[in-house]
């Protein structure tokens, strides 16, 4: 159950990051007032996802040692890299992919401890 909560916290955090990206992309090139920016559905989705992710993270910390849980949040780097590459079409170089695979290996090792 703890690992499922940890995965949910990661996914909610990543959803919040992606929604933030969509929010600022929708503002790019437009001279919008702050009141129009604050009404962005992407901004509200980001706030909801990040807030919910925080609450789930608190549940994770009740169940797992922080020394195990926190490093596993590095899965966010993997997920966001995949989204950056395949959704936003951002370039990802070989060195970055190597880092992603190292993170995956570290998370796998930590997952065996919990």
What are the φ and ψ backbone dihedral angles of 90, each rounded to 5 degrees? -85, 145
Could you identify the residue written with the tokens 């992919």?
Answer: 97
For 27-53, give the secondary structure using H, E and C: HCCCCCCHHHHHCCHHHHHHHHHHHHH
In tens, the pLDDT along 55-80 reads 999 999 999 988 888 888 888 999 99
| Model confidence at 5: pLDDT above 60 | yes
CB 66 within 8 A of CB 58: no
- Looking up tokens 């951002």 gives 90
> So what's the pLDDT on residue 114?
54
């Amino acid at each position: 159950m703890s690992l499922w909560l940890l995965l949910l916290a990661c996914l909610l955090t990543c959803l919040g990051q992606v929604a933030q990206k969509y929010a600022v992309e929708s503002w790019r090139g437009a001279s919008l007032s702050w009141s129009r920016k604050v009404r962005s559905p992407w901004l509200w989705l980001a706030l909801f996802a990040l807030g919910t992710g925080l609450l789930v993270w608190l549940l994770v910390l009740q169940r797992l040692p922080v020394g195990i849980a926190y490093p596993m949040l590095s899965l966010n780097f993997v997920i966001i890299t995949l989204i950056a590459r395949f959704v936003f079409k951002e370039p990802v170089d070989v060195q970055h992919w190597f880092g992603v695979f190292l993170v995956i290996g570290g998370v796998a090792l930590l997952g065996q401890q919990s």
